[in-house]
Structure formats: C-alpha cells, structure tokens
C-alpha cells in the first residue's frame, strides 16, 4: 500500500516534466509532493509491525523464519530482582529480641552474631563493614543461595508464644 502511494506521488511529480518538458512546479507536482509523506508513513508502520501479514517482507515476499524469530525458544528464567529488605533497616535479634542497627554485626544486648538477611549465616565485620563470611561481601550485596528465615529459638520479650 505504501509503495503504491509512493509510486503515485512520483508519477504526479514526473508527469509534467515527461509530458510537457516544463521544469517549473505546477499544482500537479505539488500534489505529488504531498503524497510522499503519507507513503513513507504507511511504509514505516508496515515495516515495524509485529504481524508478518502486515509487513512488506513477511507478507509480500514471504518470510518462513518470521515465526522462529519472534517466538521465544524457552521460557524465561526467573531472576532475583532485588533484595527483599532495605539495607539500612534495623533487625531484631532472634535470641533476645533487641533491635540491631544495620551497621552492627552483633547484638548489643546478647553479643551474638547477627544473621545475614540473604543467606542466614552469622555475619562478621571486615574494615568496620558488616560482611557475609561465605562470599566476603556486604550484606546487601551477598550472593549466597537464599535460605528461608528461621523461627526464633530463644525467649523473645514482648512477643506472645
């Protein structure tokens, strides 16, 4: 369709030159110029369409590989999109229930090591930074396998059993 409109536009532009030899713009040539913009628009819409019957290549010339290129070969793998917690969020000690700030690796009340919120292993400190001992990264950047959180083991004040 776009190619047909484009050919009509070129014919209207070239008609006065071919027939009369006149090299000045007249209304017919100007009308031909107005046909060019819609022709390019229709061709652009057809070229970017996902439906192979609409596009020039998929419909007019045939494209047997169009189904193979547009269909995914396998299901996308679920990826970890981010950490489920804020890195500066305080944590409750699972032994005594005290609040531990994010910059501490031990509970201030019972002095037990805080657990990594990603992998669940006890955290350590490297250069005053809370670090996971398995991957040697900061807690928010821990790339160890995820372990589901464990239930509190000791008595926690302020909670009902």
pLDDT digits (tens, 9 = 90+) for 26-78: 887 788 888 888 888 877 777 776 665 555 554 455 555 555 555 555 666 66
Q: Which residue has the tokens 């996971």?
A: 132
Strand partners, 92: 99
pTM of the model: 0.42
Distance, CA of 122 to CA of 135 (rounded, Å): 12
CB 52 within 8 A of CB 59: yes
Residue ranges per domain, the chain? 2-63, 86-152
């Amino acid at each position: 369709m776009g190619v047909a409109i484009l050919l009509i536009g070129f014919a209207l532009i070239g008609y006065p030159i071919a027939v009369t030899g006149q090299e000045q713009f007249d209304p017919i040539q100007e009308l031909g110029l107005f046909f060019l913009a819609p022709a390019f628009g229709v061709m652009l819409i057809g070229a970017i369409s996902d439906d192979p019957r609409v596009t020039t290549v998929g419909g007019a010339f045939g494209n047997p590989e169009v189904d193979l290129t547009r269909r995914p070969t396998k299901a996308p793998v679920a990826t970890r999109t981010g950490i489920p917690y804020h890195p500066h969020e305080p944590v409750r000690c699972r032994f005594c229930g005290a609040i531990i700030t994010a910059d501490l690796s031990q509970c201030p009340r019972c002095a037990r090591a805080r657990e990594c919120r990603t992998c669940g292993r006890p955290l350590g400190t490297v250069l005053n930074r809370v670090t996971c001992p398995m991957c040697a990264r900061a807690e928010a950047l821990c790339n160890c396998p995820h372990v589901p959180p464990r239930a509190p083991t000791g008595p926690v004040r302020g909670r009902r059993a």
